[in-house]
Amino acid sequence: MVRLEFRGLYQSSYKRFLVELGGKESGSSVILGDGWKAELSEEDTISFSTVMKIPRTFITFTGSPEVVERVIADFRVKALRGGG
């Protein structure tokens, strides 16, 4: 099991990325793939000031260690955003 925190994108984007990696939605917070499963926490926000708030989601990956490692690596590329 691997639990990761992702910030800056809405949960709908993370779900879309997981589906693009071969997963299928199973309920509102679970994506099932061949040899892996991703469970998304409720989306919340992190506040850096009174006006700057960004979305945050925790994703827990489970499954075959080799498959989960590959899915996480591919997912990180999709979720990567440049700073500004």
Cβ atoms within 10 A of the Cβ of 37, count?
18
> 31-60: per-residue pLDDT in tens?
999 999 999 999 999 998 889 999 999 999
For 15, the token pair is 């779900």
Q: What are the residue ranges of helices labelled H in the chain?
A: 11-20, 65-79
Q: What is the pTM of this model?
A: 0.92
Q: Which fold has domain 2-79?
A: Ribosomal Protein S8; Chain: A, domain 1 (3.30.1370)
Is residue 29 predicted with pLDDT exceeding 80? yes
> Is the Cβ–Cβ distance between 7 and 64 less than 8 Å?
no
Question: Rg of the Cα trace of the chain?
Answer: 13
SS3 category, 9? coil
